[in-house]
Structure 1
Amino acid sequence: MFSWMVWTTPVAVFFSCIVVMLALMTLWETRAPSVLRKGFLPIATTRGDRLFIGLMCAAWINLAWVGLGEKMAGWFSLADEPSVWISFVVSMLVLALILRKG
Structure 2
Amino acid sequence: MLHEVGHVLLHPRRESFLDLDDQRDRTDPAELEADTFANNLLFPEGSSAEIAHASTIQDLIVIAARLGIGVPTVAGNAATSPASGTSSVGCDRRSPRPT
Which structure's residues are more often helix, by fraction? 1
- The TM-score with structure 1 as length reference comes to 0.29
Higher relative contact order (CA 8 A, sep 6+): 1
Q: Which has the larger radius of gyration?
A: 1
Taking structure 2 as the reference length, what is the TM-score of the superposition?
0.30
